[in-house]
Structure 1
Amino acid sequence: MKIVVVGVTDYTAGLVRELVERGHQVAVFDDTKEGVEKLEAELDVTGAVVDLLNFDGLEEFGFSKADVLVLAHRDDTVNIVLSMYAKMVNIPKTLVVSKSRRIAEVLSRLNLASSVVTIGDVIEKKLLSALSGVELIELPGDYVVASLDTRAIVHLVGLTIADFRDKWRLSVLKLVNRDGSLKEPVDDYVIKEGDVLVVLGERFRVEELLP
């Protein structure tokens, strides 16, 4: 998966390291060179120091070819403008880190971001969850309830519920269809792109199926 990260900060640097370790193709964009050059020297990433509001300049580095865009610039104005541009060029998934909960709410309501994280949240963990299509609720004994979004975990598409359960040893509690309706997870149901599975099981089994 090709992931573009805009804005180099302590938390996005940690995110980039984790994404590279997972085998993703990562490009880092910023309008200052220090953080970009540091990540390029340390990791196998593509760096672009560019005017972030010059769309032609962005496209010279393949901005719109991203499968996922992470907007975490220090200036929320840049994040807002680029979220609108990302929608215009049909980038499939956009995640935004904002300093303002109000801006986060607006971006979500206008459908300009797939997920918005605000400063003060556990940012790196939340971004990784959003990227991987998994949200977790911790339970005692290292068990979790997890929601699995097949738009991100595409290798689940085409499996039956029985196939999924047998392969990963996870119980499917509920199934949310693409239209938002709830469906009972019967064994012969074939998982479709856009479905969300709510599952119960051991944490390590959920982690095994992450992309």
Structure 2
Amino acid sequence: MTRKQTEAMSYGIIGLGRFGSALASTLAEGGKEIMVLDCNEEKVRKMRQLTEHAYVVRDLQKETLRDTGIQNCDVVVVCIGDKVDVSILTTLNVINLGVPQVVSKANSPEQGEILEKIGAQVVYPERDMAVRLAKGLISKRVFNLFELNEAVDISELKLNASLSGKTVLEAQLRNRYGVNIIAISRGDWLTTDITPDYVFHEGDTLVVIGEREKIKRLADALGR
């Protein structure tokens, strides 16, 4: 994999635990070009169904990483939160290889602070999910973003002016995007009784259910 082979963004994932595997699968399902690395041959073998760039590595030293070509990815995500020393060293090696954007998973603020200081963007998967759930519960909306399975989501979408004044029937969201509206809210008001003659208002929030990619298409169309 080289940057000259494709104009599309390419993504490298180091570590195929639950977080890394889910990330790789989601990116691949979204049509993205990915490269995955792990020391576990069985995990790598499963990923070869999604990408031809799946490699078993004996270690994560700089030269080993260089040999895989991961430095040619536009974004590399280091998904090694549990082994702090390996996480930090691998992140540093990837940054030193010249990858434009490096994201690292952290399991603690201390680990995250070190990763940020060496130049990585840090994510806290467990904490971020907890914060998202808490915000949803506080606002009495538990469907802020809910994954039903690997392909189907329930998501909130904020309407802009493009649908304002149109009815549900006129908008044809189901026919055009393949998603179903299950609730509409505006401020403290919420309804699940969605009729074809309901008129959309700018600022309405739709709770929709559908395939992840179809929801994304609708969100893109709404300029989100």
Q: Same fold (TM over 0.5)?
A: yes
| Rounded Cα–Cα distance in structure 1 between residues aligned with 2:95 and 2:19 | 24
Shift of 1:70: 0.7
Q: Gaps (5+ residues) in structure 2?
A: 1-8, 133-143, 145-154, 164-202, 207-214
Residue from 65, 68, 77 that aligns with 2:72? 65
Partners of 1:43 and 1:101 in 2: how far apart? 33
User: Unpaired runs of 5+ in structure 1?
Assistant: 126-137, 146-164, 170-199
Q: How large is the RMSD of aligned CA atoms in angstroms?
A: 3.5
C-alpha distance in structure 1 between counterparts of 2:112 and 2:126, whole Å: 10
In 2, distance between residues paired with 1:80 and 1:11? 17
Structure 1 CA distance for aligned equivalents of residues 23 and 91 of structure 2: 19
Report deviation, 1:45. 4.3
Contact 2:79-2:104 at 8 Å conserved across structures: yes
Choose the corresponding residue for 2:62, options 55, 69, 87. Answer: 55
SS of corresponding position for 1:142: strand
Q: Which residue in 1 is equivalent to 2:107?
A: 99
Residue type at the aligned position of 1:22: G
Structure 1 consecutive aligned stretches of length 4 or more whose deviation exceeds 3 Å: 118-121, 141-145, 200-210
Deviation at 1:85, TM superposition (A): 1.8
Q: How many residues align?
A: 146
Is contact 2:62–2:97 with CA below 8 Å preserved after alignment? Answer: no
Task: Give the drift of 1:19.
Answer: 0.2
Distance 2:44 2:204 in 1: 39
Match of 2:60, SS state, is coil
Query: What TM-score, normalized to structure 2?
Result: 0.53
Q: CA deviation at 1:106?
A: 2.5
Match among 190, 206, 210 for residue 219 of structure 2 = 206
Residue 8 (1) aligns with residue 16 (2) = yes
Give the Å deviation of 1:107: 1.7
* Letter paired with 1:23: G
> Where do 1:1-211 residues align within 5 Å?
1-40=9-48, 42-73=49-80, 74-108=82-116, 110-122=117-129, 142-144=156-158, 205-208=218-221
Which residue of structure 2 aligns with residue 182 of structure 1? none
